[in-house]
Homo-oligomer: A and B are copies of this chain.
Amino acid sequence: MKRGTSRDIRTANRYEVLRQIIAASPTSRQELAAATGLSLATVATLVGELLDLRMITEVGFEDSAGGRPRGLVAVNASGGALIGVDIAETYVHVELFDLALNVLARAEENMRPGESRPEQVVAHVAAAAGSVVAQAGVEAARVLGVGVSVPGQVDRATGVSEYAPNWDWHDVPLLDLLAEHIAYPLYLDNPLRAGAVAELWFGAARGRGDAVVVNLGTGVGAGLVLGGGLHRGVSNSAGEWGHTTLVLDGRLCRCGNHGCVETYVGAPGIMQNLRELSPRSTLLHPDDQTATIDALAAGVAAGDPVAVKVVRDTARYLGAGIANLVNVLNPEVVVLSSWVAARLGAPLLEEVREAVARHALKRPLAASRIVLSPIPSDPACLGAATFALEGALQSVGQRGARRAVPAGTRPRPAPPVPGPVEGTRP
């Protein structure tokens, strides 16, 4: 059992109730009590607080068999807006959400190869964040916060990117830099945790006790859902599966270690797999990870034997690495997420399943499903937005949050915000 102060517990419970309401609106206090394991009295109090905050609304009654009709509540989608930022090595994605986590607007910026200085990254984020607010036409005052996902290890309390191996960032005060351009409250975390929460709320880990969300991009890692919640570890750096040794004394990794999983299955690792197989392949775009992965995906679709072999080789490493997670954690589901997984898609999944089956023990293997992320938008943006929501709820009634919301900017009755972008609700 996690311990905490009664204030922590209350805040966590309020957030959990709101999460359940977002996941299944409309719903009753009775259903919320059943879903959260909290007493009906506690749920009623927390629901009252969320009603006062106008984050949820009463939406009528349902008959209960023979008893009094039960009041129903739903999330007040227009009660505020949240921004989720997914910073990757090759792009910045920003999405603006209503309180029901529908996407209202999105903006994408490509990062050119080599473009990795903090001020360059910050400029892209600021431009895209300005764009989504303008596109959606929401009043600035209605934006409850901005969740920012950045690769590598982060200190959430200070907003510092401690270490991002692929950019060689060390102790970059990212939130301070962003705060020079963005006036909303800012919350920092990384794509492993953002992606895991997205799957837990809306994706393949929904309702699962133990799940692993394998993030396949330039860097790789594994967001962990354990015991029904996000596992952060003691210093918020759990999930660094990309930097586990798979091939002792193998390829040199940017972290300084040898044979890390990431050196074989991150986008640059896949390029290396291709280079070792066919050094002059036209599939290889030496300075462009995105173009190379796209070329591989197209090559597999066209039956190109080199592309097929590279995906198979990659899946062999990936399968051994995922089997390690399956054997250690015994999860119900393993989700392949992020852009490399999305682009290589079903052919990669198929090969990975076979490779995991060759390496994992029978009992945990039988208990695990391996799937592609079903989230149609960017899971890291979605997860980052939930961190902003969590932060906004924590700072309610508590001045002196890291970046306090100016008075008067709390959600209030307001004209409805524009409808969701079509097909983007997970």
Contacts and interface: CB of A to CB of B under 8 A. Distances in A.
B16 A37 contact: no
A87 interface: no
A367 B244 contact: no
B244 A328 contact: yes
Interface string A346-365: 00000000000011011110
Contact of A233 (B163, B331, B358): B331
Interface residues of A, number: 62
A364 B4 CA distance: 22
Interface string A1-43: 1111000010000001000000000000000000111000000
Contacts of A228: 1-3
B361 A233 contact: no
A163 B231 CA distance: 29
Given A37-B1, A226-B227, A330 B234 contact: yes
Interface stretch (A50-58, A175-183, A318-326): A318-326
Interface in A218-247: 222, 224, 226-229, 231-241, 243-247
A209 interface: yes
Give the most central of A237, A239, A328: most B CB within 10 Å.
A328
B3 A244 contact: no
Contacts of A323: 244-245, 257
Contact of A239 (B35, B163, B235, B328): B328
Contacts of A162: 363
B363 A235 contact: yes
A185 to B, nearest CB: 25
A35 to B, nearest CB: 8
Nearest to A165: B361
A224 B307 CA distance: 40
Interface string A192-232: 00000000000000000110000000000010101111011
A273 interface: no
Give the most central of A1, A224, A320: most B CB within 10 Å.
A1
A227 B227 CA distance: 8
A234 B257 contact: no
B329 A361 contact: no
Interface string A260-295: 000000000000000000000000000000000000
A9 to B, nearest CB: 7
22 contacts: A1-B227, A153-B363, A222-B328, A226-B227, A226-B231, A227-B227, A227-B229, A234-B331, A234-B332, A235-B330, A235-B363, A235-B364, A237-B327, A237-B361, A237-B364, A240-B330, A241-B327, A241-B328, A243-B327, A244-B324, A257-B358, A257-B359
Interface of A: 1-4, 9, 16, 35-37, 153, 162-163, 209-210, 222, 224, 226-229, 231-241, 243-248, 250, 255, 257, 259, 317, 320-321, 323-325, 327-332, 358-359, 361-364, 366-368
